[in-house]
Amino acid sequence: MRASLRQLQIFAAVARELSYTRAAEALHLTQPAVFTQVRTLEEQIGAALIERIGKRLYLTQAGEVVLASAREILGEIDRMEARLAEVQGLSSGSLRLAAVSTAQYDAPTLLGIFCKNHPGIEVALKVGNRGELLARFAANEDDLYILGTPPEEVEAEHFAFAQNPLVLLAPPDHPLATARAIAPEMLAEAPFVMREKGSGTRIATERFFAAQGLSPKVRLELGANAAIRQAVRAGLGIAVLSRATVEVELELGRLVALDVIGFPLKRAWHVAWPRGKRLSPAAQAFLDQLRATAGA
């Protein structure tokens, strides 16, 4: 059997996404090309690696074995590239950054500064929800991860590099829009529009209200901040979001931040990486940039 590195890379992407279409998008390939590469790999191995049950894809036992080896092989290639980058300095190399969707407004700015200072470094940014990032974290698929809440589910190193306050949003015509020092108890019966379970923003929101002996009444659960903003504007409920994601709406008066006691919630952006991971020179340079920003 002679599997190519490209075949292993494509198979690992399909195994991660459990979708030929999403894997193709991540790799900037067509779906038929991805499917063909996986099918060729199966023929070379002589065993099915992926099976479809209903509408979902699952790894077979052989697929699990190949995935484990593919991760080791691809990881070693990454380590080789990192060692070469050390020899060559920061004139070349790559930086793979993953960020939660709420950070998509801040991460490009940070990368822009980094690329200006290190034009020879190739950068890639993956944006997803917290669950997707934790899965990538566990598989060691990126160099660094930006999250609102440090990962507790995996062994990680991390530090806070910027403030990320959360505000409680309502439409301008909400009965409490102009009220001051609103007690959290006054929101006990208010309908909430929430991010999906496991979201860092949702975790922080539920912890705040739990500390008040309250439990938010969730009317609607959405997986994107833009959808939540629209739902609040439509009067479907109030919501807690990062101020960075709603600056424009607040300035234009499309939304208002309720003056609730305890808000804004004080949170921070954290950068994290697997404990014990050997960071590439590019990743270390990016961390140095964040530390300098945090200390400014």
Could you give all domains of the chain from N- to C-terminal order, each with its CATH number? 1-91 (1.10.10.10), 93-164+267-296 (3.40.190.10), 169-266 (3.40.190.10)
Residue 280 has what pLDDT? Answer: 85
**For range 124-153, the mean pLDDT:** 88
Residue 180 banded pLDDT, cuts 50, 70, 90:
very high
Residue 91 has what pLDDT? Answer: 66
Judge whether 130 and 65 are in contact, CB under 8 Å. no
DSSP string, 103-165: GGGTHHHHHHHHHHH-TT-EEEEEEE-HHHHHHHHHTT-SSEEEESS--SSS-EEEEEEEE--
| Closest alpha carbon to 39 in 29, 26, 48, 27 | 48
Residue 55 has what pLDDT? Answer: 86
| pLDDT above 90: percentage of residues in the chain | 57
What confidence tens digit (pLDDT) does each residue in 1-10 have? 677 888 999 9
What confidence tens digit (pLDDT) does each residue in 186-213 have? 998 999 999 988 888 899 999 999 999 9
**For range 20-41, the mean pLDDT:** 91
Residue 104 has what pLDDT? Answer: 79
What confidence tens digit (pLDDT) does each residue in 61-80 have? 999 999 999 988 888 887 78
pTM of the predicted structure, to 2 decimals: 0.66
Bridge partners of 59? 50
Q: Which residues contact 236 (CB under 8 A, 6 or more apart)?
A: 191, 193, 219, 220
Residue 80 has what pLDDT? Answer: 80
Name which of 36-50, 85-99, 116-130 the model is least confident about: 85-99
**For range 12-25, the mean pLDDT:** 92
Residue 90 banded pLDDT, cuts 50, 70, 90:
low
DSSP string, 31-99: HHHHHHHHHHHHHHHTS--EEEETTEEEE-HHHHHHHHHHHHHHHHHHHHHHHHHHHHGGGS-EEEEEE
- Other residues' Cβ atoms within 10 Å of the Cβ of residue 10: 26
Residue 150 has what pLDDT? Answer: 83
What confidence tens digit (pLDDT) does each residue in 236-291 have? 999 999 998 898 999 999 999 999 999 999 988 999 999 988 888 889 999 999 99
